[in-house]
């Protein structure tokens, strides 16, 4: 009801705008601003198509293979100069460039490759999950496995495990590094469980998948076992042990690159439907 005011016999009516509550006017104003902002956003999306980032597999893999070759070569040259050319005067290696040193450039590079593989696996798993939830499970498991590998490469969890097991078992010979025994069992069991998954691929993809597993495990476990036997007999400072470790790390890096190529091919085979949006 609009109030009336009587002043000296004259009826005065307040302005109609004073009768309109202030809160609804603010609400209408806020809604108008929201609609205007949404209209501008839609106009920008329609006027400017999203930019596309193209990753060329050939260039990426060439760069990574060259990086691995350089990393292995630098560490190898250091050992050869120390053991075979003492007249050069290189009495100690640069440990930040050493393949067998945990806090080093090669360790960071290896951990980074494992993390990239884990992220690629996760992207594939999310994509497969949209269509076939059960078939995405192996991809999720592999993604988790590579996240753990990346962490272990930096945090050296396997070294801690080896010390714990060495105190509780008679480790000698090929299992001088005690962690290799449970790792071998887990890897063989995992490969057996993943046989149907592996057989689901054909042609080059299956070859890359099997080849990456063989090369990586040959280095990570096979050469580690041989290195353990050598370390038990002659220690870890001799040239023979150093060569074994160089081969080991080189095989690990090569296996990771082969597996990464397989993953990138899978992402490309999905017709580039995987998209990452930031909102």
State the pLDDT confidence band at 4, using cuts at 50, 70 and 90. Answer: very low
Q: CA 127, 129, 134, 135: dihedral to nearest 10 degrees?
A: -10
With a cut of 50, say whether residue 148 has pLDDT above it: yes
Looking at residue 51, what DSSP letter applies?
A: P
* Tokens at 267, concatenated: 């992402």
pLDDT of residue 273: 56
Report phi then psi at 237, rounded to 5: -105, -5
Tokens 């990086």 map to which residue?
A: 67
Q: Are the C-beta atoms of 187 and 140 separated by less than 8 Å?
A: no
With a cut of 90, say whether residue 159 has pLDDT above it: no
pLDDT of residue 277: 59
Looking at residue 92, what DSSP letter applies?
A: S
With a cut of 50, say whether residue 54 has pLDDT above it: yes
The model carries a pTM of: 0.78
* Sequential DSSP letters for 110-154: HHHHHHHHHHHHHHHHHHHHHH-TGGGHHHHHHHHHHHHHHHHHH
Angle between helices 180-193 and 157-166 (to 10 degrees): 120
| Least confident residue range of 52-56, 124-128, 180-184, 246-250 | 52-56
- pLDDT tens profile 208-219: 999 999 999 999
* Tokens at 185, concatenated: 């069992």
State the Cα–Cα distance between residues 41 and 43, nearest whole angstrom: 5
Residues with Cβ within 8 Å of residue 259, at least 6 apart in sequence: 117, 208, 209, 212, 213, 216
pLDDT of residue 42: 66
State the Cα–Cα distance between residues 263 and 120, nearest whole angstrom: 7
Paired strand residues for 158: none
- pLDDT tens profile 167-195: 788 788 899 988 898 999 999 999 999 99
Q: Count CB neighbours of 226 within 10 A.
A: 17
């Amino acid at each position: 009801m609009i109030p009336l005011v009587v002043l000296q016999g004259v009826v005065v009516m307040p302005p109609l705008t004073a009768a309109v509550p202030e809160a609804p006017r603010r609400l209408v104003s806020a809604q108008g601003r929201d609609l205007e902002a949404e209209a501008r956003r839609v106009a920008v999306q329609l006027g400017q198509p999203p930019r596309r980032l193209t990753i060329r597999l050939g260039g990426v893999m060439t760069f990574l293979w060259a990086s691995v070759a350089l990393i292995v070569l630098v560490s190898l040259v250091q050992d050869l100069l120390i053991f075979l050319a003492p007249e050069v005067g290189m009495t100690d290696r640069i440990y930040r460039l050493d393949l067998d040193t945990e806090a080093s450039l090669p360790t960071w590079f290896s951990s980074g490759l494992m993390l990239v593989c884990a992220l690629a696996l996760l992207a594939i798993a999310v994509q497969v999950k949209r269509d076939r939830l059960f078939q995405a499970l192996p991809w999720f498991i592999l993604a988790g496995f590579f996240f753990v590998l990346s962490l272990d490469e930096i945090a050296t969890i396997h070294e801690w495990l080896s010390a714990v097991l060495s105190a509780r078992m008679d480790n000698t010979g090929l299992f001088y590094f005690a962690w290799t025994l449970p790792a071998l069992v887990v890897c063989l069991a995992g490969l057996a469980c993943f046989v149907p998954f592996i057989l689901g691929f054909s042609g080059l993809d299956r070859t890359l998948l099997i080849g990456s597993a063989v090369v990586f495990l040959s280095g990570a476990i096979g050469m580690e076992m041989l290195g353990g036997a050598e370390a038990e007999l002659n220690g870890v400072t001799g040239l023979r042990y150093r060569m074994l470790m160089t081969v080991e790390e080189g095989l690990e890096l090569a296996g990771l690159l082969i597996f990464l190529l397989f993953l990138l091919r899978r992402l490309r085979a999905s017709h580039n439907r995987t998209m990452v949006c930031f909102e």
